[in-house]
Structure 1
Amino acid sequence: MRGFTPRAHASRPSRSQRRCGHLAQISQQCYTTRGRENVAQALYRKWRSQTFDEVVGQEHVVRTLTSALAQGRIAHAYLFAGPRGTGKTTMARLLAKAVNCLAEDGPKPCNRCAVCQALNEGRLIDLIEIDGASNRGIDEVRTLREQVNFSPNVARYKVYIIDEVHMLTPEAFNALLKTLEEPPAHVIFILATTEVHKLPPTIISRCQRFDFRRIPLDLITQRLRLIADTEGIHAEQAALELIARSATGSMRDAISLLDQLSAYGSDSITRELVQAMLGAVSVEPLADLVDAVIHGDLKAALGTVGQLVDQGLDPRQLTAELLDYTRDLLQVKAGNPPALTAASAQTESRMRAQAEALRVDDLLRLSRLLTQASLEIKGNILPQLPLELALTEAILKPEARPAQAPQAAPTSTTRPAAPREAPKPQPVVAPQVKREPPAAPQVKREEPAVVEAAAGAPATPPATSVGVVDLDTVHRRWDEFVENLRNCNPRTQALSAQALLRSGAPMSVDGDVIVIGFPSEFHRKKISEDAPKALVEKALA
């Protein structure tokens, strides 16, 4: 029998070892594949300011912080408050980088030392960013209180940035108070919030507060132009201005929208492309709506609104755009250039013609109606109805109504005489309400279009009555009178009378008699009832 000589061979790996090796190989392939991919970085992160000089629109904050750094007066807690996208988190990271910069001379941060580079690359463990919305409980704050006692690992200071700090619970705020007031010497707290009014006063008083402002339109436009030229994005100037306007002072929102438009696939970013992306309406339909108000064309106004809504336009967006357009008309009326980016010189010329055709009172009234409509749209069953009612009320202003109110002449010194018989008004003509002195208020039940209400004259008026006013004065003070009516008592009846008078408008003034027109017989009957009639008489007195 031959001798057996064992063969030297490598031991076979076990099943678990083979499985782990296979997973490690897959993981390595995944990381290798991800490393090979050209993952695009969001533009707002790529263009985040790396020095204080690059910060846009917050010069008051930059100047204060740089002066404090130069003097070595570093506070233990800062509070950055302001709207979203205005640079609060960016400023907090810059401050954390500046206090830990290793450069001995020159401006800080230098972005060349090891600490600055580590922070720029997101690997500085001494910078702790906490989301207040997801770490809002007392347990998280207790953990933070335990961690602050440890010294920094690399940097000079350990910086805690708590974003959306207003989301913390009251118990968490109470637990943070003592640490925030007397933190260790190596710890700096930076709190950022968009709703500073939700913070307890005890928290605010322990921090140096900096209020961030909305970034001006021209600065956002300049920044977008710089980014577009550097990134090779072809964009029209009108398109960039529209992007900046839609951002409402938020640089991050503007850059994010530019990034989204650049990925649309178009060769150039045009104004029309931005409008389509935002769901905004062009200038021409807005100008058509204003023309309809000027000419009293209710059919054209309601038809344009219906057509735009059928095309998928959000009524809230349409109301906001029309209100913005009305504001620009007011600017033109005052002699200022329109803030709206005009699509062409022809559009700007059309705006100037509309401003000439409208009075300041008309623009103010239209602006108030659109503002009220924008508040009523939310939760309405028919979202476009408040806008349609606002345009209808604007068109049914006294100057646009074809028929005049009946004239009333007083037959005695105590009360005006009954009005003369007037022809039956047209359907679009509102019934009129007539007000008379309080000496003998009477309701002419046989005349459906006229209601006699006291206008504040005494039972025996003197020779020179101070209650007589002209129609222009009534027009100027009508909205103020209606708005102040809610302060009368009883409040429920005051609000009801106010709602009724909002649908009416003064038509004419004859002595102590004010004739008010209403769009329907229903409104006239309601205001003629004893309770609202007496309340209006008392308010006019």
Structure 2
Amino acid sequence: MAYLALYRKWRPQTFADVIGQAHICQALQNSLKQGRISHAYLFSGPRGTGKTTIARLMAKGLDCAHGPTDSPCGECQECRAIANGSSLNVIEIDGASNRGIEEIRELREQVRFAPVGAPYKVYIIDEVHMLTPEAFNALLKTLEEPPAHVVFIFATTDLHKVPATILSRCQRYDFKRLNHAQLMEGLKKVASAEGIAADEAGLAMIAKHAEGGMRDALSLLEQCMIYSEALTVETAADVLGVAPAEEIRRFTENLLGKDDKACLEQINRLYGSGRDLMQFTRDVVDELRGQMLQLEPGQRQESFLEAIRKLSDCAREMRYAVDARIPLELAALELTAKPKQEQSLPSEDINSLKEKIRTLEQQLRNLSAKETPREEPQRESASVRKRPSGAGDQERTQFLIDNWEDYLQALRSERLVQCAAFLCEGRPVAVQAGTAVIRFPRERGFHKASIEQPKHREAAERVLSKFIGTNLEMECVFDDEVSPEMTGSHQQPEKREKGSAGITQVNEPPNASKTAAQNRPQNEPAAENETVQAALKIFGGKVVRIPDASE
């Protein structure tokens, strides 16, 4: 007879032989006993936990000559055929290699045929999550309303990849990892039956690295059997490529004892002997965790927590490292680095430093006493706090004329920059009956029109009222519109100033422009000296033609 691997040779043949999945076996046995057979089952869980094995046992219970039964006989023709994989009524499909829609269409055609010499036809689809979305969609209708003689059993290790439409049509059973005691039970049973001289520590190491899967545990046990006739902890360590438990404990002691030299030597020795440093790092983390859990309440755990955190990060970095030693050595050096001790100074130096500190503090107090208390910054400028000397229009007019630039600055401090830009081309004339008259040159008509817009005028009036100390409105006029009644005795002396264009100009009397217009020849258009010239100053260019008023 051909050689069979241990996990195939010792595959459970009855529900009673299954280790670690008692809750699932009990549920399936009850369904067989009561005749409550579902048309679809979904087994999910880690690898090597018995999903395919229990699926075959379920098929045995359905097609046994005495079935459906919760205790298949294992002797009838159908039970033997299922056990050796030759049954025509139990079809096992690998979902990873038969994942397309064509395979599912073929399966839909086959399910219509009745079973041969048995009551049920069982389809076991392993790794069902590997099917394509189109294949799942093609399977939906058959899965929802299959023939009465068909039972589907799906097995998967990635349940989250199975569509919800499939999950809702199946009875779902979640397989769990086997614990250490259950793995040890199975390993001892097989080692005893195979005549292997195995010690407890060697089997424990195999069970630890099987990660909860009995198939992995039996595969590792078989490797150890081939490597040596006797199974010892050294044999298991050599086969697994891991460090013995003594090495792990010694490294942990050196790490907590801050012995960096011993840690580095041990890492190099393990690397030279071909040990898996990533697995060694995981084993050290497990050892540290075990020691930390054994601490009494109230004992300091900071060193253990720091070491576990650092080595866990190290294990992740080692996956991508060119040399696995580098991350582990760096982590060991960081964990064994001793904290820097504070250098003690002579008492004379300490007293001298204290004296200097006292002197500096006294100087700071003296400086603080000399300084005047700083006032909180005000949004209002200093000019806003000025007020006219009297309450009459004459005093207010003179105050506004003398402090016009301060008023413009007050506008800027209120973030009314546009208003200040428009009003800087004007000059105050008078304050009469609650109205401040501001005159503009004819060529500054744009500025006058802009400040007369309600949003600008109202903001300017608000600041002006605050500036003067009484509610005022604002009236804007051109120079040639100023009457002598407006100016009174407050006519500003003629002075040279710079306009907005930076050209030095001489302020003319308010009626100068009107007089010049009267003395102008009749055949010369008035707009040539006023509007046209203003446009040339603002926009540039040259005069081509001035249309007549009739045009």
**TM-score band (shorter)?**
0.5 to 0.7
Matches within 5 A, 1:36-51: 38-51=1-14
State the 1:106 CA deviation: 7.2
> Which of residues 328, 342, 348 is equivalent to 1:404?
342
State the 1:391 CA deviation: 1.8
Alignment partner of 1:290 is 2:290: no
Partner of 2:88: 125
- Cα distance per residue 1:309-356 (max 9 Å; x no partner): 122222212211211221221233259xxxxxxxxxxxxxxxxxxxx9
State the 1:383 CA deviation: 1.9
Residues 24 and 173 of structure 2 are in contact (CA less than 8 Å); yes or no, is this contact kept in structure 1?
A: yes
Partner of 2:263: 301
Partner of 2:119: 156
Partner of 1:197: 160
Q: For residue 80 of structure 2, what is the amino acid of its counterpart?
A: Q
Identity %: 48
Residues 78 and 190 of structure 1 are in contact (CA less than 8 Å); yes or no, is this contact kept in structure 2?
A: yes
Partner of 1:186: 149
Alignment partner of 1:141 is 2:96: no
Residues 101 and 108 of structure 1 are in contact (CA less than 8 Å); yes or no, is this contact kept in structure 2?
A: no
- Cα distance per residue 1:138-192 (max 9 Å; x no partner): 1101100111111111211100000011111111111111111111111000000
Question: What is the DSSP-based 3-state SS (H/G/I as helix, E as strand, rest coil) of the residue aligned with 1:50?
Answer: coil
Matches within 5 A, 1:116-515: 116-264=79-227, 266-333=228-295, 359-396=300-337, 400-404=338-342
Q: Which moved more, 1:141-150 or 1:315-324?
A: 315-324
Give the direction of change, closer, same or farther, for the CA distance of 1:287–1:75 in structure 2 (3 Å limit).
Answer: same
Question: What is the DSSP-based 3-state SS (H/G/I as helix, E as strand, rest coil) of the residue aligned with 1:333?
Answer: coil
Higher RCO, Cα 8 Å, sep 6+: 1
How far apart, CA to CA, are the structure 2 residues paired with 1:176 and 1:104?
28
State the 1:243 CA deviation: 0.9
- Cα distance per residue 1:278-315 (max 9 Å; x no partner): 00101232222222222222222222212211222222
Give the direction of change, closer, same or farther, for the CA distance of 1:406–1:215 in structure 2 (3 Å limit).
Answer: farther
How far apart, CA to CA, are the structure 2 residues paired with 1:99 and 1:405?
82
Q: For residue 153 of structure 1, what is the amino acid of its counterpart?
A: V
How far apart, CA to CA, are the structure 1 residues paired with 2:64 and 2:195?
33
RMSD, matched Cα = 2.1
Residues 129 and 160 of structure 1 are in contact (CA less than 8 Å); yes or no, is this contact kept in structure 2?
A: yes
Partner of 2:471: none
Gap regions ≥5 residues in structure 1: 1-37, 336-355, 408-418, 421-541
- Cα distance per residue 1:186-211 (max 9 Å; x no partner): 10000001111111111111111100
Question: What is the DSSP-based 3-state SS (H/G/I as helix, E as strand, rest coil) of the residue aligned with 1:153?
Answer: coil
Residues 280 and 318 of structure 1 are in contact (CA less than 8 Å); yes or no, is this contact kept in structure 2?
A: yes
State the 1:43 CA deviation: 1.3
Question: What is the DSSP-based 3-state SS (H/G/I as helix, E as strand, rest coil) of the residue aligned with 1:45?
Answer: helix
- Name the larger-Rg structure: 2
State the 1:107 CA deviation: 4.5
Gap regions ≥5 residues in structure 2: 346-352, 355-551
How far apart, CA to CA, are the structure 1 residues paired with 2:69 and 2:88?
25
> Which of residues 20, 32, 47 is equivalent to 1:84?
47
How far apart, CA to CA, are the structure 2 residues paired with 1:56 and 1:284?
31
Alignment partner of 1:102 is 2:65: yes
TM-score, normalised relative to structure 1: 0.61
Q: For residue 307 of structure 1, what is the amino acid of its counterpart?
A: R
How far apart, CA to CA, are the structure 2 residues paired with 1:124 and 1:72?
22
How far apart, CA to CA, are the structure 1 residues paired with 2:320 and 2:185?
38
TM-score, normalised relative to structure 2: 0.60
State the 1:48 CA deviation: 0.7
How far apart, CA to CA, are the structure 1 residues paired with 2:194 and 2:251?
39
Residues 236 and 270 of structure 1 are in contact (CA less than 8 Å); yes or no, is this contact kept in structure 2?
A: yes
How far apart, CA to CA, are the structure 1 residues paired with 2:344 and 2:64?
82
Q: Which moved more, 1:315-324 or 1:162-171?
A: 315-324
- Cα distance per residue 1:382-421 (max 9 Å; x no partner): 322222222222223xxx42513899xxxxxxxxxxx99x
How far apart, CA to CA, are the structure 1 residues paired with 2:115 and 2:233?
51
State the 1:223 CA deviation: 1.1
